[in-house]
Amino acid sequence: MHDVLIVGGGGAGLTASMLLSQLGVDHLLISALPTTSVLPKAHVLNQRTMEILAGLGLAETIYERGTPPEQMRYSGWYAGLTGPTGDYGRRFGLVESWGCGGLSDDWAAASPQRQTNLPQIRLEPLLKARAEQLAPGRIRFGHELTAFTADADGVTATVLDRDSGQTYEVRARYLLACDGGRTIGRRLGIVMEGARDLARIATVHLSADLSAYARDPEVLIRWLTLPHTGGGATMVPMGPDHWGPDSEEWVVHLNYAADDPRSLDDEKVIADLRIALGLPDHPLTVHLITRWSIEGVVADRFRDGRVFLLGDAAHRHPPTGGLGLNSAIQDAANLCWKLAAVLHGHAHERLLDSYEPERKPVTARNVQRSVENALNHIVATQAVGIAPNADPATNWRQLRRLWSGLPEDAEHARAVRRAIASQSMEFNEHNIEYGYTYSSASSAFSAAVLADGTPEPDNPDPIRLYQPCARPGHPLPHAWLEDDHGRRLSTHDLVRPGRFLLIAGEEGQEWCDAAAKLAGCRPLDVVRVGHLDGDLLDPRSTWTRHRGHGPAGAVLIRPDRFVAWRALDATDAPARLSHSLQSILEEAT
């Protein structure tokens, strides 16, 4: 009998395994696949995800192997890659992306971790190795779920060992469906709702030396407008040993109409690739061609009794914005501490009811944003004015208007610049990536957040601007603190796996005393923080600015680094703290 059975060995499943291991929860992970994904897909890892992976001991390796920050500062728009005239490969648009490789003060202030880029085919082996290290013998690839039944006490699964052909039975208290929606959700009758088949894409993973053509080492994603075909393509470096123009491998996405049979023929796709890139004879090796359609769908429910859906099993995104893999990893971070609290006897099972009302609104918004990002690319392309049914000469005349300098082209060039600038909604969506909350009406039924009566802060741009605050339901604001030896640490470093943290003000000794009395029966730590006094000092007054209470108040942080509750003063501290923890852990409804 296992506490948890995880089905699926992608980003969600492997992260869940590592978190459960860290939290001391017995579990088994199975995946029907022989190894981690070979598909060249998700690659951008946002700050929230890197915080989770840092807590699992993976951040340093990921940063070492991922794209250097100076080579992912921008996304660029180009007139193709190369060709017979000098205008081929000309850049006509540039947008700062993901905190400009760490140059953005807002992004640097938001988190102790920076955004990075590591394709999923490079990331997943790292996750798998770490999961196996933390749970030896419990990570089983090539083991396929063939049937399951759920009852009031748990789940019984039949598993096929694909190498030996033998089947065996697994009994677990909970089942995490991290299988991409291929099996479990369908058998439970869970419906994926949303937009489907928005566009057809053929993705080519290849090796080639493109350093002579892919200029601008500071650009990560290249959006190619192709006047010679009237279409478009997207290029992303894949490393693995070098990045930017010197990348050994690349992914190229080619757009096709839904009824275009060329997309189904490998030879024709490769021919289209060479035409798109302007490289008819250049040496290149194609590793894999995949075909997929853009969709944005969300499961009608994220839980069915003792079965929980995570990652692609619960929501599937267009790649624009890079929110899919990140959402999957963040699903696991939300759920696993709750499972551990229940399984270790610290919380009533009703705490698990908070998973869907917290994660579904967030991931639904992420799906919506991903679709909007994809559609905005179409708007930007339309603003340029090239078309597949126009001849190349006409398309070139239209494209050259962007840099002609002629008075009659000025308004057109300005409109295109504005259209490209609007893609900051994708490449600078900081509040979507990092500032999402588990508060407000969207999660009104989550008992794992206790409102303090303060209004939602006004945000003039809820897509691009993350505004730190310690209001219940918001992510814990990052602030650099100092101990008595002058050593620097983040507020995030204070939260230990599976434990709540009470951060009291400099005059909050009553909160410390109250927490000490509860610590024997609750997973609770406490610390006083102030600018001039406390267990830790706030030298820049950053925490003081964001905490939202006076020197005698306190903020209760959940194990997933979201604010659970806040007290503006120390009135009746012991009773209020006890009641708050009891409400979250025992009285969830």
The CATH number assigned to the domain holding 134 equals 3.50.50.60
Residue 441 sits in the same domain as residue 331: no
Residue 302 sits in the same domain as residue 169: yes
Choose the final residue of a domain: 349, 379, 413.
Answer: 349
The three-point CA angle 391-397-401 to 5° equals: 150
Residue 155 sits in the same domain as residue 21: yes
Residue 173 sits in the same domain as residue 310: yes
Note whether 81 and 213 are within 8 A (CB). Answer: yes
Output the pLDDT for position 96. 96
d(CA 544, CA 541): 5
Burial (CB < 10 A; 0-12, 13-18, 19+), residue 166, is exposed
Residue 151 sits in the same domain as residue 16: yes
d(CA 464, CA 458): 13
Region for 469 from its dihedrals, namely left if φ exceeds 0, alpha if ψ lies in -120 to 50, beta otherwise: beta
Range of the domain at 497: 437-585
For residue 394, being part of any structural domain is answered with no
Q: Token pair of 556, please?
A: 């209760």
Note whether 525 and 500 are within 8 A (CB). Answer: yes
Contact partners, residue 79, CB within 8 Å, separation at least 6 = 87, 88, 89, 90, 92, 224, 225, 227, 399
For residue 267, being part of any structural domain is answered with no
Residue whose token pair is 């992260």: 15
d(CA 499, CA 448): 14
d(CA 375, CA 379): 7
- Across the strands, what pairs with 554? 504, 567
Q: Token pair of 493, please?
A: 């470093």
Residue 333 sits in the same domain as residue 467: no
Torsion of CA 137, 141, 146, 149, to 10 degrees: 40
For residue 359, being part of any structural domain is answered with no
* Per-residue confidence in pLDDT tens, the chain, 589 aa: 999 999 999 999 999 999 999 999 999 999 999 999 998 888 999 999 999 999 999 999 999 999 999 999 999 999 999 999 999 999 999 999 999 988 999 999 999 999 999 999 999 999 999 999 999 999 999 999 999 999 999 999 999 999 999 999 999 999 999 999 999 999 999 999 998 887 889 999 999 999 999 989 999 999 999 999 999 999 999 999 999 999 999 999 998 887 888 989 999 999 999 999 999 999 999 999 999 888 899 999 999 999 999 999 999 999 998 999 999 999 999 999 999 999 999 999 999 999 999 999 999 999 999 999 989 988 888 999 999 999 999 999 999 999 999 999 999 999 999 999 999 999 999 999 999 999 754 444 578 999 999 999 999 999 999 999 999 999 999 999 999 999 999 999 999 999 999 999 999 999 999 999 998 889 999 999 999 999 999 999 999 999 999 999 999 999 999 999 999 999 999 999 999 999 999 864 4
d(CA 404, CA 90): 13
For residue 81, being part of any structural domain is answered with no
CA end-to-end distance (rounded Å), the chain: 28
Residue 39 sits in the same domain as residue 144: yes
CATH of the domain at 557: 3.40.30.120
Cα torsion 62, 64, 66, 68: sign:
positive
Residue 449 sits in the same domain as residue 335: no
Does residue 81 sit in helix, strand or coil? Answer: coil
Residue 470 sits in the same domain as residue 344: no
Choose the final residue of a domain: 306, 332, 349.
Answer: 349
Count of the separate structural domains present in the chain = 2
Q: Which long-range contacts (CB under 8 A, 24 or more apart) does 143-146 make?
A: 143/30, 143/31, 143/32, 144/30, 144/32, 145/7, 145/30, 145/32, 145/179, 145/183, 145/184
For residue 45, being part of any structural domain is answered with yes
- Cis-peptide into 240, omega within 30 deg: yes
For residue 384, being part of any structural domain is answered with no
pTM of the model: 0.96
Residue 472 sits in the same domain as residue 337: no
Output the pLDDT for position 50. 98
Residue 341 sits in the same domain as residue 453: no
Which helix (H) or strand (E) is 2 found in, with range? strand 2-7
